[in-house]
Amino acid sequence: MKKALVLGGGIQGCCVALMLKKHGYEVSLIDKNENILNRASLNGTGKIHLGFVFGADPSLKTGKNLLLSALYFAPYLEYLLDAKVDWEKFKSTSFNYLVAKDSMLSPTQVNAYFQTLEDSYLDHIKNKNLMYLGKRPQKLFQETTIPEQVNPDLFQACFATEEVCLYLESFNEVIKKKIQSENIPLYLNRRVTNVKRIDDGFIVDANSGDGSNQIKSDLVFSCLWEGNMDLDKKMGIMIKKDYNLRLKFGIITKSPLALKRLSSFTIIQGPYGDYVSYPQRNAAYFSWYPSSMKGMLVDQKMPSDWDALCDGHIPDTMGRILVNENNVHFSHLIPDLPEFETIAIRSGVIVANGYSDIYDVNSKLHERNEFPIMQNDGYFSINTGKLTNAPRNTYLLEKMLGHENF
């Protein structure tokens, strides 16, 4: 039985570990946090992207790739879990896409792009195994009126879609329980510092609070998100020169009563923001990009202060500023919005490629379409891209390993 060590306990690492266990590997999972499915796998909106937000990619590849990943998300996860999931209890309200007055794309261009995605979707669902979170709607979008709760002077058009988010804090428990039931060993509070190739496999150095540990494995699967870059270089994986890290925050609040009838929305196309309503959890998520994006690094390691912020150690002053700025901006968008009843402030790192931010219509950050898996003689690096991609990335890895069962 081959030993396999998965580096990183986010959704990508957990999917890979469950897939390997299914095929008889002696698999272990290591993570620097005190629990799995933390940080990037917890702190975002949980949107299962149908591709709508990536209309600025002229190749259309990013949107189409995300659409296909979204259709694999539920069926492949259920395959890994060996169980059906009640998706409805985790879902947000469905998303409206509001086209800003100064959008990079006109409503006509947005409509044409959305129609291209819908055409691809209708082709994909000829495969009876594919679905969107338990459903197979016949339409993905339609143009509709601008919601009465938002300031109509700020928007040109509105498109209602089938896209939703999952409330990650609850959804992650489903995966955690499966990892536990499979008795997959977890090495937690251990930061991977090095991977060394030896004659019969690899030695992984992992630093814990009481010193360094060494773990031997036949195969290594790196799912370290922002931590992949350094290890990949050491293991002979070619890294692009425009490796981009962005630090972004979101505000979790109690659901404002005044917004009870307002569906979730994303504003396109440019550096705007998202509002997500999780009615079954009495919670909402707000993130205004210009106020919530607090740093961008290119071809640099993630600094320790970012690491602490992603672990939830957000200084009180910084937190108050984030909440206030987001509240002010969203009050301009939604005139009846009350003061936030803040539950939590979440931060995470977005990993992509590109030198300029999304303010630039030509930025490569509008593109996420590269093959997600690189490997070199037993060392595999999996780039999640978006949470949406994690199950399908694992399906592609399963095929690479010659174990396709799905």
| Range 144-149 contact pairs with CB under 8 angstroms and sequence separation of 24 or more | 144/96, 146/98, 147/96, 147/262, 147/263, 147/265, 149/258, 149/259, 149/261, 149/262, 149/334, 149/336
E strand segments, 33-164: 96-100, 141-144, 155-161
- Residue 371 inside a domain? The answer is yes
Q: What is the mean pLDDT of residues 243-270?
A: 95
Structural domain range at position 31: 3-400
List, in order, residues 6 or more apart from 180 with CB less than 8 Å away. none
- Residue 183 inside a domain? The answer is yes
- Residue 48 inside a domain? The answer is yes
Helix (H, G, I), strand (E, B) or coil at 305: helix
Number of domains comprising the chain: 1
Distance, CA of 217 to CA of 198 (rounded, Å):
10
- Residue 131 inside a domain? The answer is yes
Q: Is the pLDDT of residue 142 over 90?
A: yes
pTM, entire model: 0.95
Q: What is the mean pLDDT of residues 29-54?
A: 94
pLDDT per residue as tens digits for the range 310-364: 989 999 999 999 999 999 999 999 999 999 999 999 998 988 888 777 766 676 6
Q: What is the mean pLDDT of residues 160-173?
A: 98
- Residue 180 inside a domain? The answer is yes
List, in order, residues 6 or more apart from 320 with CB less than 8 Å away. none
- Residue 350 inside a domain? The answer is yes
pLDDT per residue as tens digits for the range 360-383: 667 666 666 678 899 999 999 999
Q: The domain that contains 280 carries what CATH number?
A: 3.50.50
**Tokens found for residue 359:** 């303010």
Provide the pLDDT confidence category of residue 91 given band limits of 50, 70 and 90. Answer: very high
Q: How far is CA 20 from CA 6, 13, 68, in A?
A: 10, 11, 23
- Residue 406 inside a domain? The answer is no
pLDDT value of residue 50: 99
- Residue 58 inside a domain? The answer is yes
